[in-house]
């Protein structure tokens, strides 16, 4: 899959202002970012330019991961539906086939969740770099539109990335600290779940598959538009 065209990307996501940018000078020298890249335009333009460039080279991989996610998620749904209807191998009549199917279910669920987690980590990393380039405050990060169930796109992506990294830690938790709560509450809102279930935190596994499918609604275009709309709002002076 080819890398998306730069100018087509600007048109697609309403970023035509980036067509006017140029390398900046500072005190007679080329202006550079804290990580050593040339600065392209002012702070706002440079941050969005770098987001576009990083997204473009990641987009083919993200598309492949998303396709694999959908494939495994659909297969998981089909097998689970068949089991609920009493179809497929029986554990008492065909135990070998039943256990093989059970292992396949684990593979579908784990694979889909890992693919989703990888996508959300990449998108979170892209937005975190954009946030740093903009010197955006925590208040801006939390309040910028669009919102998903009352939480900003940045907050939701950050929370999902934390779930991917720390769900095993969450599974052992009997109390929720402030850091965990900051991630769990947005994800519970997106998934329509309570924070607590029978005295334990509800989110005790990798829920990236459910989160990504919910916010993307089966479309990577929707996912990318959410990211760029949020970045543009975050970049408003």
pLDDT digits (tens, 9 = 90+) for 124-160: 999 999 999 999 999 999 999 999 999 999 999 999 9
pLDDT score of 1: 79
pLDDT score of 19: 79
Task: Specify if 39 maps to a domain.
Answer: no
pLDDT score of 30: 46
Domains in the chain, number: 1
pLDDT score of 148: 98
Alpha-carbon span 68 to 178, nearest angstrom:
34
Q: Is 54 helix (H, G, I), strand (E, B) or coil?
A: helix
pLDDT score of 79: 73
pLDDT score of 110: 84
Task: Specify if 16 maps to a domain.
Answer: no
Task: Specify if 18 maps to a domain.
Answer: no
pLDDT score of 33: 57
Its pTM stands at 0.88
pLDDT score of 26: 45
Task: Specify if 221 maps to a domain.
Answer: yes
Which residues pair with residue 30 across a beta bridge?
25
pLDDT score of 36: 47
Task: Specify if 4 maps to a domain.
Answer: no
Residue span of the structural domain in which 184 resides = 57-234
**Terminal-residue alpha carbon distance, the chain:** 36
Residues of the chain short of pLDDT 50, as ranges, are 22-30, 36
Task: Specify if 114 maps to a domain.
Answer: yes
Helix axes 208-216, 153-172, angle to 10 degrees: 160
pLDDT score of 76: 77
């Amino acid at each position: 899959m080819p890398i998306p065209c730069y100018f087509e990307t600007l048109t697609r996501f309403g970023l035509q202002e980036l067509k006017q940018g140029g390398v900046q000078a500072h005190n007679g020298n080329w202006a550079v970012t804290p990580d050593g890249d040339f600065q392209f335009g002012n702070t706002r333009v440079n941050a969005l330019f770098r987001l576009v460039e990083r997204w473009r080279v990641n987009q083919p991989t993200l598309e492949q991961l998303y396709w694999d996610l959908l494939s495994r998620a659909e297969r998981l749904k089909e097998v689970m539906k068949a089991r609920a209807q009493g179809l497929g191998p029986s554990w008492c009549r065909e135990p070998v086939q039943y256990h093989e199917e059970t292992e396949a279910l684990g593979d579908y669920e784990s694979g889909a969740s890992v693919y989703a987690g990888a996508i959300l980590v990449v998108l979170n990393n892209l937005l975190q770099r954009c946030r740093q380039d903009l010197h955006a405050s925590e208040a801006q990060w939390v309040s910028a539109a669009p919102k998903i169930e009352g939480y900003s796109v940045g907050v939701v992506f950050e929370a999902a990335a934390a779930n991917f990294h720390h769900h095993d830690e969450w599974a052992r938790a009997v109390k929720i600290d402030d850091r965990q709560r900051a991630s769990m509450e947005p994800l519970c809102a997106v998934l329509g779940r309570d924070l607590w279930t029978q005295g334990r935190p509800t989110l005790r596994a990798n829920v990236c598959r459910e989160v990504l499918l919910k916010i993307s609604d089966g479309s990577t275009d929707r996912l990318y538009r959410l990211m760029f709309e949020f970045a543009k709002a975050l970049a408003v002076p």
